[in-house]
Amino acid sequence: MSETFSVIARDGAARAGVLRTAHGEVPTPAFMPVGTKGTVKSVDPDELRALGAGIVLGNAYHLHFRPGEELIAELGGLHAFMGWDGPILTDSGGFQVFSLRDTLLEVDDDGVTFRSVYDGAPERFTPELAARVQERLGSDVAMCLDICLPAGADRSELEEAVRRTTLWAQQQRDLPRAPGQLRFAITQGGLDGELRRRSSEELVALGFDGYAIGGLSVGEHREPMFDATTEAAAFLPEEKPRYFMGIGDPEGVLEVISRGVDMFDCVLPTRTARTGSALTREGRLNLRNARFARDERPLEEGCPCPACTRFSRAYVRHLVNQQEILGLRLLSLHNLRFLLDLVAAARRAIERGEFLSWKEEALEGAKGAM
Ligand SMILES: [Zn+2]
């Protein structure tokens, strides 16, 4: 069998590669649209494919509670259930548990107890459950349960999170997987270089198919976050894919690619759509603004998405103002296309060996799109 991941071009620390999964190959760098509850909000799988998405993300926390992994398994697994036959990465649910901090009840060496956001009932996630849920969902990449702390956590908390994240990864590593399922571990340590090194070394020693950089993009300032990314990526093996969890603004995406990250996900394109805004090369357009009332131009000149090829800014503005579903859909399709195209262009620039100069140029316009 060929390698799970190959790097095919390098430019500085940036890399272009291929991730091979049970449901096909994913060219990297890859942006993963987020289908939290088994759907990328308002976008169907054929549209996702046409937009250029190579892999989507599903959320173990939400799918575990509604409709439940056993029901999804009974109906043929997550691919069949959501009608997407391409690669799927599922997160472990840990991020939701730890980011919904007022629902946390107790963390110990075997797992975490919390109140479900659905009905407030006490629930428990363990490495065994994280493995089981993702095995039943049948995703192509499964994530380890980890402890993600918010920005500003003190060193002793970070140290304990690193210790338990390693312990849990060790417990989860050899549990049953779906056929061909890859398993990624998640490094923690916040902005603390020494703890990030410890976390990375411990997890790499255990041996996983890929490694995520977790616990960043959790509310800290951008510059220290990017510095920590440079450091965190360098602690990870060259020959394995690196996944930065939770970044999706144009600048952030290009900055993490330039630091050697291969995969990332974010709800930003669809969340931005829900606020009535479009991502463009010149920055973010708030379609509610009255200046678009008679604007006959597309959201972005030359964009091949379904919104830009047929509709004017004036029409999208009208839809947004009237809270028409089509407005939300058109903005979601456009924003996803914008980000997927940006990442595809980054990949081509890496292959040409022109990534840095291309990135500077791309960011000139995109600064306002943050
Ligand atoms: Zn468009």
Along the 370 residues of the chain, how does pLDDT read in single tens digits?
479 999 999 999 999 999 999 999 999 999 999 999 999 999 999 999 999 999 999 999 999 999 999 999 999 999 999 999 999 999 999 999 999 889 999 999 999 999 999 999 999 999 999 999 999 999 999 999 999 999 999 999 999 999 999 999 999 999 999 999 999 999 999 999 999 999 999 999 999 999 999 999 999 999 999 999 999 999 999 999 999 999 999 999 999 999 999 999 999 999 999 999 999 999 999 999 999 999 999 999 999 999 999 999 999 999 999 999 999 999 999 999 999 999 999 999 999 999 999 999 999 876 554 4
- List the one residue out of 256, 275, 272 whose CA is nearest residue 264: 256
Ligand 1 centroid, distance to 360 Cα (angstroms) = 22
Q: What is the pLDDT of residue 366?
A: 60
Looking at residue 364, its pLDDT comes to 86
Q: What is the distance in A from the centroid of ligand 1 to the CA of 112? A: 42
209 close to 4: Cβ distance less than 8 angstroms: yes
Q: Which helix (H) or strand (E) holds 251?
A: helix 250-258
**How many angstroms is it from 306 CA to the middle of ligand 1?**
7
Judged on CB neighbours under 10 Å (0-12, 13-18, 19+), 367 is exposed
Gap from CA of 16 to ligand 1 centroid (Å)? 25
Those residues with Cβ within 8 angstroms of residue 90's Cβ, 6 or more apart along the chain or in another chain: 57, 58, 59, 60, 63, 78, 133, 134, 137, 139, 141, 142, 143
CA of 327 to the centre of ligand 1 (A): 12
* CA 273 to chain CA centroid, nearest Å: 17
CA count, 13 A, side-chain hemisphere, 105: 13
- The catalytic residue positions are 91, 265
Ligand 1 centroid to residue 365 C-alpha, Å: 16
Q: What is the pTM of this model?
A: 0.97
Residue 44: the pLDDT is 97
CA 34–ligand 1 middle distance (angstroms): 19
Nearest partner of 28 among 332, 260, 369, 362, judged by Cα: 260
CA 51 / ligand 1 centre spacing (Å): 10
| pLDDT value of position 101 | 87
